[in-house]
Structure 1
Amino acid sequence: MDPDYFKSHEMCWGTLGTVRPFSNFHPDRDVVEIQAALDKKDALTLVRILTNRSNAQRQVIAKTFGETTQKDLAAGVKKALAGDLEVLLLDLLMPSLQYEAHRLQQAMAGLGTDEETLMEILCTRSGEQLQEISAAYKQLYKKDLEKELKGETSGDFEKLVLALLNKENVAGSVQRDITSLLASLNGKKADAGPWINILTSRDSDHLNNVLMGLELESGQMVEEAVEKRFAGDLRLGLKVLVECIQSPDVYLARRLTTLKTSTVQGIMVSHSEEDLLCIRVAYLKLTGTSLYTALQKEFKGDHLQALLAICRSED
């Protein structure tokens, strides 16, 4: 990474994200630098600026660029760059809600569906956020997200996905919920209904108490029960949901251990201003290696420098 990167750019600290608003923000100055960098195909300058501004600041830069040059910044990035770095910088240029909508659309595009990415987003976002993402999806793709999800899923997994999309907190009794979940496992075939209804409609504190009580009363880990009694996409969905209830940071860190480019970029861009520091801590505990070091072993070139800039530092 550019050794002057941190020296020359002050950061505004104080959140659980790694990317914070740039304290000495001058969009006009950024646009001049970006325009020159696009002409020279200077990837390092583009990385330095776009990874060191908050999403809101990047939107101001894109707007100012359009007004100043009468050109679209994203189109300029597409022309100047290629490959994974191009995709990453285009991801950074999307407004946050549009980016989540884009990830959902990509998970459903083409042959087959990326069920885990669908579940990742649905399980780690609040009901209110998901409604905003649904609105962004409609604006971007002129399609209804709920209908799209129905078309890509079926059976109990479809019910789970739609319940998560429309989740809302409903008061419940911890003991009654534990009893319902235990009873659902007693028959020849496990009943998915109580799992879907309860795990998508209570707050996280309530659900953590339910899951702990379920383990005490059943004598087995919840993940084991899900693994044994459910199958297919529903099993995957319930496992992700349980992990996210217990610790979304650990779940996202586990997802990052695949070091698959689309997964790494998706999570790092989505969480860079919210809780990537927490995910980094969980990654270190899970693997014994920092995320920063893991990225250096897997990626290279300017693409690596951009990922490291979002990650920010060694743990």
Structure 2
Amino acid sequence: MDYEYFNSCEMCWGTLGTVRPFSNFRPDRDFIELQAALEKKDTVNLVRILTNRNNAQRQVIAKTFEDITHKDLTTSVKKATTGNLGVLLLELLMPPLEYEAHRLHQATARLGTDEETLMEILCTRSGSQLQEISATYKQLYKKDLEKELKGETSGDFAKLVVALLNKENVAGVVQRDIEFLSASLNGSKADAGPWINILTSRSSDHLSKVFMGLELETGQTVDQTVEKRFTGDIRMGLKILVQCIQSPDVYLAKRLSTMKTPIVQGIMVSHSEEDLLCIRAAFLKLTGTSLYTELQKHFKGDYLQVLLAICRSED
């Protein structure tokens, strides 16, 4: 058992995840079954094994596979699978930090930056998690994540992204923060500076009080204020940040409700061991349909079976 790996992956542990450690875990037995499934291109058994082990156990299986065969498991999975199924299984085999770094790289490497995925990750991860992700990013891609983000964004949105990447909780005074945000709205053009500074450096509890005070002053919700007073990418970024401060589960449920393959795949893999149960509950409340049922309306085949295995059960 690779205890060093288990101890290094605290970010993926949580009591509200849908994927848990397999209680009768035997990597030697899994290796034998996995090798047979790969040779026969038996995707049913491949899916069964990989989705019924948590990520740390998958890493042990991958190490066992490499020690015995002197081959890389991800390469073997890639040869035995195709399309979205193959991509999804490969992502399940990535360690959590590596997977988040991979998602950030994908969001900036393609033609046209995926700003919403950048915001999703930056807004739903803590400052310490983002530091670990940044270090992993540099190790994997030999590039500085902050410099990459600056190069792919511009203006106030770039400032917001960098502030989120380097966020840390700083004590603030509720009334003073309300006054700063209110004053930023007085000109013909709203000043994004105080919003970036305050919303990326205060605790959620503190900001909920600030939002209530600001709503009393303006007579509208914070989301409505952002919608009316800002434009372009900074409006989109601040709206996502506000939603994540208020309820990250609801924001992620809204993202999932698009049922777009990259979004569904990214969120479900990323949150499967952490808080997917909360996201499932928010999805049901938001849409009136369970995530388990909705997945079956939009996906099919072995790919669907992987998603259902991650989702785990009907609500």
TM class, shorter-length: over 0.9
Deviation at 1:230, TM superposition (A): 0.5
Structure 1 equivalent of residue 7 of structure 2: none
The within-5 A match list for 1:246-261 is 246-261=246-261
Structure 2 equivalent of residue 40 of structure 1: 40
Please tell me the residue identity of whatever aligns with 2:297.
K
Please tell me the residue identity of whatever aligns with 1:76.
S
Structure 2 equivalent of residue 173 of structure 1: 173
Structure 1 equivalent of residue 30 of structure 2: 30
The within-5 A match list for 1:119-130 is 119-130=119-130
Deviation at 1:217, TM superposition (A): 1.6
Please tell me the residue identity of whatever aligns with 2:44.
L
User: Counterparts of 1:168 and 1:71 in 2: how far apart (Å)?
Assistant: 42
Structure 1 equivalent of residue 84 of structure 2: 84
Q: Deviations over 1:17-39 (max 9, x none)?
A: 00001111001111111100001
User: Counterparts of 1:73 and 1:239 in 2: how far apart (Å)?
Assistant: 41
User: Counterparts of 1:204 and 1:268 in 2: how far apart (Å)?
Assistant: 24
Deviation at 1:108, TM superposition (A): 0.5
CA RMSD in angstroms comes to 1.0
Identity of aligned residues (%): 80
Structure 1 equivalent of residue 212 of structure 2: 212
* Runs of 4+ in structure 1 over 4 Å off: none
Please give the secondary structure, in 2, of the residue aligned with 1:235.
helix
User: Counterparts of 1:225 and 1:47 in 2: how far apart (Å)?
Assistant: 46
User: Counterparts of 2:306 and 2:100 in 1: how far apart (Å)?
Assistant: 20
User: Counterparts of 2:106 and 2:76 in 1: how far apart (Å)?
Assistant: 22
Q: Deviations over 1:107-135 (max 9, x none)?
A: 00121000000000000000000000000
Tell me whether 210-219 or 278-287 shows the greater mean CA deviation. 210-219
Please tell me the residue identity of whatever aligns with 1:77.
V
User: Counterparts of 1:298 and 1:94 in 2: how far apart (Å)?
Assistant: 25
Structure 2 equivalent of residue 140 of structure 1: 140
Structure 2 equivalent of residue 268 of structure 1: 268
The within-5 A match list for 1:1-315 is 15-315=15-315
User: Counterparts of 2:151 and 2:78 in 1: how far apart (Å)?
Assistant: 31
* Structure 2: tracts of 5 or more residues without a match: 1-13
User: Counterparts of 2:102 and 2:17 in 1: how far apart (Å)?
Assistant: 21
Please tell me the residue identity of whatever aligns with 2:135.
A
Deviation at 1:218, TM superposition (A): 1.1
Please give the secondary structure, in 1, of the residue aligned with 2:71.
coil
**Aligned residue pairs: how many?**
303
* Structure 1: tracts of 5 or more residues without a match: 1-13
